[in-house]
């Protein structure tokens, strides 16, 4: 733990305790792990957003017997107080908000120094370094989990090139994660970040959402739910038709650029908003990114076009003044606006994806040595178990199949 | 074609022509088939809802060179005028609205008499009969398509029992079909059927939707979009959490039964509303089914509880008077309310699933002899092609990947 | 009663009985009237849509002691079976579906022949004739009620010109009527009529709603609730801003004409869609009117532009083929699509406005001779009473002011 | 101006400048005022939330020639930096965040010391003091404006008691204010405040909204738009029916208390959530007020029931631990959560109500001496003018009445 900020610890502890209140499922799993110790003797290197919710996950894994070294998966998202508090709990933490890119990578190396049996990643940077710069550690690694869509894309590419050396569970691809975390978590927190940064009225605003995956859908729904007129851009025809049938206007970015007042990228791809689009935008247009990496808005092009930049006209809001006087407002430097300008996903939603994460780690530990390198889905039972615990915690009862119904589903002979 | 109603033919032709206006994708595929003749010399036995939209599909397959015999997949859904018109187009049709169950099955046998190379099914009744009562025809069959969730469940069960003798494409499982047909088609047409039958105000009504699959989601969204308060029942914890996070109240049916004013079953399972639930319902409660088979509401239990039945108090609406005076209203005898009391899915939505269907048939014809028995997904390219044609027809342009973006997606080395 | 259709009577009775089920408030008021006889000895001439719901209103007034003569307020909306049934109940009915304009006006004259003490109007035609062609009856009339926005506009104009000779209660202007009937009733039934006529998919459709009054808002909400992309046109800047802040795109009709696939007029004004707009529309555009009179779409201009008209391509759907081959589809001849192609407002919503109507008639009877000519609002107590009865019928309990709260609202001295 | 914080001035200036970007209508009015000087020589005492948006209003009035003294209308809502900046602009400001109640009232007295010709109020405290403690100033006052529903209720009561001594314009009652500010402004900012305070996930949360006036409707819409399940409580049957028809569950607070997870009061009345309700709530329930005064939640009852209070478990969040261990979380001490925990209404929405405010002040100045004491509505032309300017600023064109249409609306003779 590099930060010394003693007084922070208490603030961080309070923040973690607050998150725990909204994470009853992970609490229950942590309690179970404390009994069963499924991770006894295992070392874990983790590269995750260092937030209060992550701290609860790390706590559950530690309760299960693991020794853990944690680096940040994004230079801007670290909550320093949480980092401090985690250090106090005996977790090795290498993270500080606002570090430069060299420090960022150095932190990942320090986490890897633990010599991991298992790895947890959020964007695939740690796994990448492991396969390129720390190959000496590869033999000891028996598996890992990846949290994001972006990371899973990279892992599948590594698999295709036969570069991946151990099994990775795509925590991102669980129904639990995609349906809840991506859709509801990203949806709410992205708009929360934008409103905190700008205090803009969303009602009546023309909002362009680039990308209609689970995250994009969530952002579009929440923007519409706040009264915005939402335009969607896509490259996948199926998703584009889906957006249209949900009543969104679907346009290519070249046209959307002229219509929009607020742009939110959430595609997992780079250069979604480029110079040619920036050149068409209205005075006062606001640019925000909710995709994992800060590559979706071509910030360099924006810098090149600006005559003048006024940093911090509002918190996390920089104003780029173009030659013709138009002003474009870039939020959070084009990095994840929900983690930077707000507090990331609410704990209640992280409760589900981190619970799946925790159970996936336990499953990996159990299957150790039995899985070939490659990308694995989270076993469906884990999803169901997490959802079941969630309903229980929320006090929601549901129906169960009767014997007759179960028979019916098994039979193909009954007909019209 | 058993019906002789000459004057119907013209009505049916007009209806088919109307459907064609909203089916530009299938029209384009039909035109392409007329050129390429991918089905030349093949015989197809089909068991489908005999509606105007089906007629357009059949027309496209015929244009591709197939010879076709068609039976109805539901005794109540046949549009007699369309059946008449199809006869006029040289298609062998065995279907008439309102026939009894023996005639229904006899019609399927007549369609099978063609000695099919390929089969099209909607609910798996034809495939079922083929494997149980017409096994002599099995050798000639090289594959088929199944349209519904219900049918696919039956096919997977047959595969598990090694009973299925040829490859079946689960047209139902395409993104195109599930996202659009199940969600938007079933959503709109189910409520349309209920309103036509009852003219009830949906605003402010407490609607219980049993099942939160794609169809159930569509029904719930449309009910909410009309101002109803929607309660969802489920057996799958993951779907139940999803429903809750979309703001629906989630209850077991035992509790929902007391709260609901309108019940819509759309689960694919039987006895979802049972005697124990009927016993708890309010006076005036309305019962409708949007699942494929008429088994979701236990109509026999309802009959057993009724002191008196007033058939036809409104079109497609029967009133069951219970011993204590409460009146329960059953729509469409518990059969598919959207096909019975309304006109089924709008042509625009069938355009997409039937286009996938047509392309899947062509794919099957091409792959003839190369596929083992089992359930196959529609190749993803077909989905994308259908969606692409749909956007084109709607005049919607979307973005394309730049070379740089395609590279980015392929690379796993670029990082934070 | 001019129609002789004996067998219709029973159909009509069943329809009225069905409506009564959803009209518990009006039933309760009818029962109260039967006791108190507030209309004993009074003669009422009414010009209303002759529907099942109107029959329940007429029944309540009759129970209150009134003698009633009823004419239709729209040549297309009469339900002949209901007219027949009402005749059987001893009400004088002058109405038949599809009569020509002379017969329509003759029917109003026949209703006036009763020599009314009170009048009920829906669009102001009866009051208009009374003031222009039947002035000999004016002295006896002590007041009346008007049901529509359109009618109230005409009454206010008459008042401004000092032409109105007796007090008229603007039933339309109650909160009960505007909020519920206009918004929820017109909203649902307009789209219901359009779907019955065309079976079009609303999801993804670009719908232009002309007018954003209470009715227009209702139509826009329901269209959006079905997945449509909604564009609003307005002439009032305040309503236009409201529409924009609710997330609708706001355009002048000249621009909306190019974008729309379905047009719904609901303004209360004439020539909202004119030749210049028709000239810009896409092939296949559908035109429907939900405003009271058939003047909102310039049908004559459409006829003038058409090379060919195909009547009845679907029920209530006529196709106008323009010189360049584009086809425009006019629903219900430009008349009220919800009453013509569907069944008008659901009974549950009419329950509230007709209950206010019934109580307003009783109030007028009581205030007889005390009110100067002019347009009156329904007393607020009537609104509250109707809503109270509605909640009671629905089994919904609400809070009541505590004594301390009532004091607080009365006091202006308590502060921050 | 009591605060000396020199460095604050610049922060405040930047904040005001930011607000001005979203207030094009008020900017345009300010420019017009600078030309026409409608307030030349007039002194104004204002009691308003001291925020950046208010600063823009004050700037417009100053541009019009007025001399202004400003006090805060709420002890918690003052933005100290804005207060500092306003001082720099030559406005007399008496306001500081977090002052005690004596200081709060002292500040109002200081503002009144200016000897006002006109007054601006927000909640009626200044007018109240003027009529009770500063009667010597009354003769000089020729009129004023009141911003809130709460204040207007108090003014109407004063009028009923013949206590009010000059004309007050109910700025709150404009369509512009009620439709936009109350509904969209309060809706967004209330949930924004709650999320900033708690970072809770709104999707799937059971939210109880007490009060279904314009503000309550806005809060309910935004909560639903974020995925919450919304329950409404009301005392007015008409509003309760409206809520039910919009698909909300309507319950008395006694029942809602058991079901809710988040409670938001927005009624304008006191003791809406009382001890009897607090006693029934779930562990973890969150209590927030969006009504003008901090009387809607009975905080004293809560204090009396708590065994322990943990202040600041999150920003603006205090935890009350009850005897049985349940924890209730009170936000912003029961004061306006949107102004306290967030930044109040976004500038874009204040642009409209403050523009109406500014034009109303100019109208009052013009009508000086011609209006009797009492509550006046804002002239309808002002509403229309504000909306017109708003559309212009947003680049939205709308239709205008044709001559034929204007005639049609004037005529009552044209019929069916």
> To the nearest 10°, the Cα dihedral for D110, D116, D119, D120?
-50
| pLDDT tens readout for residues D1-23 | 344 444 788 889 988 999 999 99
* Interface list for D 228-247 with B (CB within 8 A): 228-230, 241, 244-247
Same domain, C197 and C263: yes
Distance CA D85, CA D53 (A): 12
In a domain, D78, yes or no: yes
In a domain, C132, yes or no: yes
CB within 8 Å: A229 and C245: no
Q: At which of B299, B315, B340 does a domain end?
A: B340
Question: Nearest to residue C331, comparing CAs of C320, C321, C322, C323?
Answer: C320
Q: Tell me what pLDDT residue D410 has.
A: 79
D331 touches A at CB < 8 Å: no
D217, D238 Cβ separation under 8 angstroms: no
B269-273, B327-331, C108-112, C170-174: least confident range: C170-174
Phi and psi angles of residue C92, each rounded to the nearest 5 degrees, phi first: -80, 115
CB within 8 Å: B204 and D228: no
3-state secondary structure of D263: strand
Same domain, C380 and C312: no
Same domain, A198 and A296: yes
* End-to-end CA, chain B: 67
**Average pLDDT value for residue range D294-322:** 96
Edge-first strand order for the sheet with C262-265 is C249-250, C229-233, C206-210, C262-265, C286-289, C327-331, C317-322, C306-314
Q: Tell me what pLDDT residue A5 has.
A: 47
In a domain, B353, yes or no: yes
Q: Which residue of D has its CA nearest to A181?
A: D201
In a domain, B401, yes or no: no
Task: Flag whether pLDDT at B410 surpasses 90.
Answer: no
Confidence of residue B413 (pLDDT cuts 50, 70, 90): very low
Same domain, A166 and A19: yes
CB within 8 Å: B185 and C201: yes
3-state secondary structure of D39: coil
Task: Flag whether pLDDT at D321 surpasses 90.
Answer: yes
Question: Considering CB atoms only, which of D225, D284, D349 is closest to A225?
Answer: D225
Predicted-complex ipTM score: 0.88
Question: Nearest to residue A243, comparing CAs of B225, D229, B403, B183?
Answer: B183
Decide which of B5 and C303 is more confident. C303
In a domain, A189, yes or no: yes
Largest CA distance in chain C: 73
Helix (H) or strand (E) segment spanning residue B390: helix B380-394
* Residue D182 assigned to a binding site: yes
CB within 8 Å: D271 and C404: yes
**Average pLDDT value for residue range D106-120:** 97
Residues of A in contact with C250 (CB under 8 A): none
Query: How deeply is A300 buried, as exposed, middle or buried, from its count of CB atoms within 10 A (0-12, 13-18, 19+)?
Result: exposed
Residue C304: Cβ within 10 Å count: 10
* Interface list for B 11-30 with C (CB within 8 A): 14, 18, 21-22
Distance CA D203, CA C391 (A): 29
Edge-first strand order for the sheet with A229-233 is A249-250, A229-233, A206-210, A262-265, A286-289, A327-331, A317-322, A306-314
Task: Flag whether pLDDT at C172 surpasses 90.
Answer: no
Residue indicated by tokens 């629906």: B248
In a domain, C401, yes or no: no
Question: Nearest to residue B194, comparing CAs of B313, B341, B292, B78?
Answer: B341
Same domain, D46 and D157: yes
Q: What percent of chain D has pLDDT over 70?
A: 97
In a domain, B403, yes or no: no
Same domain, D140 and D245: no
Same domain, B252 and B111: no
D214 touches C at CB < 8 Å: no
For chain A, what's the residue count? 416
C238, C259 Cβ separation under 8 angstroms: no
State whether the Cα torsion C174-C176-C182-C186 is positive or negative.
negative
**Average pLDDT value for residue range D248-271:** 97
Decide which of C14 and A256 is more confident. A256
Same domain, B87 and B107: yes
Distance CA C122, CA C145 (A): 8
A347 touches D at CB < 8 Å: yes
Task: Flag whether pLDDT at B1 surpasses 70.
Answer: no
Same domain, C205 and C325: yes
Distances (CA, A) of D276 to D184, D272, D298: 32, 11, 10
Residue indicated by tokens 């594959």: B143
| pLDDT tens readout for residues A13-40 | 988 999 999 999 999 999 999 999 999 9
Q: At which of D309, D340, D371 does a domain end?
A: D340
A227 touches C at CB < 8 Å: yes
Same domain, C144 and C212: no
Number of CB pairs, chain B paired with chain C, less than 8 A apart: 87
Q: Which residue of B has its CA nearest to D245?
A: B204
| pLDDT tens readout for residues C42-63 | 999 999 999 999 999 999 999 9
CB within 8 Å: D202 and A196: no
Distances (CA, A) of D110 to A373, C249, D58: 76, 47, 17
**Average pLDDT value for residue range C222-251:** 96
Q: What is the DSSP letter of C297?
A: B
CB within 8 Å: B314 and C187: no
B43 touches D at CB < 8 Å: no
Task: Flag whether pLDDT at A2 surpasses 60.
Answer: no
CA distance C82 to chain A (A): 39
Same domain, C127 and C205: no
**Average pLDDT value for residue range C75-93:** 89
Query: How deeply is C195 buried, as exposed, middle or buried, from its count of CB atoms within 10 A (0-12, 13-18, 19+)?
Result: buried
The mean of the pLDDT values for chain B is 92
Same domain, A290 and A367: no
Residue D311: Cβ within 10 Å count: 10
Residues of A in contact with C227 (CB under 8 A): 245-247
* Interface list for A 166-195 with B (CB within 8 A): 175-176, 179-180, 184
Distance CA A296, CA A288 (A): 9
Q: Tell me what pLDDT residue C412 has.
A: 53
Residue indicated by tokens 């631990």: D321
Exposure class string for D125-161: b at 16+ Cβ within 10 A, else e: bbbbbbbeebeebeeebbbbbbbbbbbbbbbbbbeee
Q: What is the CATH number of the domain that holds B223?
A: 3.40.50.720
Question: Considering CB atoms only, which of D125, D175, D352 is closest to C416?
Answer: D125
In a domain, D411, yes or no: no
* Residue B291 assigned to a binding site: yes
Domain that residue C64 falls in: 6-177+344-394
Q: Tell me what pLDDT residue B3 has.
A: 42
Residue indicated by tokens 């009354």: D138
State whether the Cα torsion C313-C318-C323-C326 is positive or negative.
negative
Q: Tell me what pLDDT residue B370 has.
A: 94
Joined tokens for residue C282: 């896409």
CB within 8 Å: D224 and B245: no
Distance CA C262, CA D215 (A): 33
| pLDDT tens readout for residues B64-105 | 999 999 999 887 778 899 999 998 888 999 999 889 999 999
Task: Flag whether pLDDT at B17 surpasses 50.
Answer: yes
Question: Which of D200, D202, D204 is the mutation pick for testing B, counting most B CBs within 10 A?
Answer: D204
Q: What percent of chain B has pLDDT over 90?
A: 81
D314 touches A at CB < 8 Å: yes
Beta bridge partners of C148: none
Distance CA D49, CA D62 (A): 17
Q: Tell me what pLDDT residue A293 has.
A: 85
Residues of B in contact with D244 (CB under 8 A): 204, 229
Distance CA A263, CA B117 (A): 53
Joined tokens for residue A299: 């910030």
Distance CA D400, CA B207 (A): 42
B115 touches C at CB < 8 Å: no
C161, C305 Cβ separation under 8 angstroms: no
CA distance A247 to chain C (A): 5
Q: At which of D303, D325, D340 does a domain end?
A: D340
Task: Flag whether pLDDT at A147 surpasses 80.
Answer: yes
**Average pLDDT value for residue range C296-308:** 97
Query: Which residues of B172-282 form beta strands (DSSP E)?
Result: 206-210, 229-233, 249-250, 262-265
D107, D75 Cβ separation under 8 angstroms: no
CA distance D125 to chain B (A): 40
* Residue D310 assigned to a binding site: no
Joined tokens for residue B213: 């699959």
Q: Tell me what pLDDT residue D32 has.
A: 96
Confidence of residue A412 (pLDDT cuts 50, 70, 90): low
Residues of C in contact with D244 (CB under 8 A): 391, 394, 396
Distance CA B190, CA B218 (A): 9
The mean of the pLDDT values for chain C is 92
D58, D12 Cβ separation under 8 angstroms: no
Query: Which residues of D90-244 form beta strands (DSSP E)?
Result: 92-94, 118-121, 143-146, 167-170, 206-210, 229-233
Joined tokens for residue A229: 């007129």
Cα D101 to chain centroid, rounded: 19
CB within 8 Å: C200 and B343: no
Q: What is the CATH number of the domain that holds B77?
A: 3.40.50.1480
Question: Nearest to residue C329, comparing CAs of C193, C175, C198, C172?
Answer: C198
| pLDDT tens readout for residues D186-204 | 999 999 999 999 999 999 9
Q: Tell me what pLDDT residue D134 has.
A: 97
Confidence of residue B182 (pLDDT cuts 50, 70, 90): confident
List of residues 6+ apart from C375 with CB closer than 8 A: C152, C155, C156, C159, C164, C167, C168, C169, C170
Residue indicated by tokens 């009856």: C137
| pLDDT tens readout for residues C336-347 | 999 899 988 899
Count of structural domains within chain A: 2
């Amino acid at each position: 733990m590099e930060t010394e900020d003693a007084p922070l610890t208490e603030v961080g502890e309070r923040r973690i305790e607050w998150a725990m209140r909204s994470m009853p499922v992970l609490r229950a799993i942590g309690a179970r792990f404390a009994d069963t110790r499924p991770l006894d003797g295992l070392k874990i290197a983790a590269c995750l957003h260092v937030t209060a919710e992550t701290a609860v996950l790390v706590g559950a894994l530690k309760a299960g017997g693991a020794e853990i070294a944690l680096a940040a998966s994004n230079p801007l998202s670290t909550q320093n107080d949480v980092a401090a508090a985690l250090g106090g709990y005996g977790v090795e933490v290498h993270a500080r908000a606002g570090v430069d890119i060299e420090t960022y990578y150095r932190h990942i190396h320090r986490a890897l120094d633990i010599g991991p049996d298992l790895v947890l990643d959020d964007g695939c940077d740690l796994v990448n370094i492991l396969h390129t710069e720390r190959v000496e550690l590869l033999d000891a690694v028996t598996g890992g989990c990846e949290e994001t869509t972006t990371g899973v894309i990279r892992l599948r590419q590594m698999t295709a090139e036969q570069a991946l050396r151990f099994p990775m569970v795509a925590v991102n691809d669980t129904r639990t994660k995609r349906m809840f975390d991506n859709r509801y978590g990203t949806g709410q927190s992205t708009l929360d970040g934008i409103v905190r940064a700008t205090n803009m009225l969303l009602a009546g605003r023309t909002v362009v959402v680039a990308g209609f995956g689970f995250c994009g859908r969530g952002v579009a729904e929440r923007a519409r739910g706040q009264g915005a007129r939402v335009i969607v851009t896509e490259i996948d025809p199926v998703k584009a038709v889906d957006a249209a049938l949900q009543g969104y206007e679907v346009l290519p970015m070249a046209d959307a650029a002229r219509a929009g007042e607020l742009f939110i990228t959430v595609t997992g791809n780079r250069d979604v908003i480029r110079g040619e689009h920036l050149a068409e935008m209205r005075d006062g247009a606001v640019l925000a990114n909710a995709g994992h990496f800060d590559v979706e808005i071509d910030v360099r092009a924006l810098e090149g076009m600006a005559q003048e930049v006024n940093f911090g006209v509002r918190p996390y809001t920089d104003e780029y003044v173009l030659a013709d006087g138009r002003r474009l407002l870039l939020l959070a430097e084009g990095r994840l606006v929900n983690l930077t300008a707000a507090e990331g996903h609410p704990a209640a939603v992280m409760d589900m994806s981190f619970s799946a994460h925790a159970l996936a780690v336990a499953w990996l530990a159990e299957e150790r040595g039995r899985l070939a390198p490659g990308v694995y889905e989270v076993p469906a039972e884990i999803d169901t178990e997490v959802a079941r615990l969630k309903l229980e915690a929320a006090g929601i009862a549901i129906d169960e199949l009767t014997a007759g119904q179960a028979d019916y589903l098994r039979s193909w002979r009954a007909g019209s």
